[in-house]
Amino acid sequence: MSLPTLLSQHIVRRPQRIALLQHIAEQGSITRAAKSAGLSYKAAWDAIDELNNLAQKPLVERSVGGKGGGGAKLSSEGERVLRLYQKLQALQAQVLEAAEEASDLDLLGRLMLRTSARNQLHGKVVAIDAQGRNDRIRLELAEGLLIDAQITHDSTLRLELENGTEVVALIKAGWLELLSVDQTTTSGNNCLKGSIEEILDAEDGPSEVRISLPNGQTLCALAEPLHLKTLGLGAGKPVQVQFAPSNILLGTPL
């Protein structure tokens, strides 16, 4: 399908983030679009990363311009999704009128679960390898990028996973380990190569590191400033991202 079911569900339950596409189309800038949408600069970037990661093709094309902004425009896929969102807006009033009582809407909200995991990558199952009580699930992300997840066999059955099943891989930012390009990775772990797009320093605690992957998706990792300095990692630098298959949670549409 050209638009994943998981992205279409996201449109319904997170309309304020989809509406950001309209502001980007009108403003042509992340900074101005964020202000117009009533979002912080960071929240706007988070929304764009999440939308691009869940779509099969990036919805927003960006040129980084530092803290002060940078240009942005919708891709052809982004324009198509925006048209879909506008159609859904027209249907929203009809849905609200169809609800018999307010509790119906509360029920739907509980069924459409949000997650605290910063990294949500859309992919599909391409292989399932049984390993005792666990299964190793190979996932194909956008542009053919591959990662492995390890879950229990019971979870495989409960999620009804098989080759071709579309899933979202959830990875907490703190589960990602950043390595320089010349460091040796741990055997059996996932390792993705990318480049550091931006580092957001915190007043107290680890920095937030945004990593652009070759397939257009984005990862968010946490790292101590001293660790980044020791490895010589900074904005624009190549980097390796390592994480264990057991640190990936899988989700499927309801």
User: What value does the mean pLDDT take over residues 235-244?
Assistant: 96
120 against 65, higher pLDDT: 120
Give the start-to-end residue ranges of the domains of the chain.
5-111, 115-254
- Residue 3 — pLDDT band, cuts 50, 70, 90? very low
User: What value does the mean pLDDT take over residues 92-98?
Assistant: 56
pTM over 0.95: no
Residue 27 has pLDDT above 50, yes or no: yes
Per-residue model confidence as pLDDT tens digits over 159-177: 999 999 989 899 999 999 9
Return the pLDDT at 51.
Answer: 85
Q: Supply the Cα-derived Rg of the chain in whole angstroms.
A: 19
Residue 2 has pLDDT above 50, yes or no: no
What is the assigned CATH class of domain 115-254? mainly beta
Among 143, 190, 209, 139, which Cα is nearest to 168's?
A: 139
Return the pLDDT at 81.
Answer: 84
Q: What is the mean pLDDT of the chain?
A: 83
Give the count of alpha carbons within 13 A of 203, CB side only. 0
CATH number of 5-111: 1.10.10.10
Using CA atoms, how far residue 196 sits from 59, 182, 209, 229, 238, in Å, is: 20, 15, 7, 13, 6
Residues listed for the chain? 254
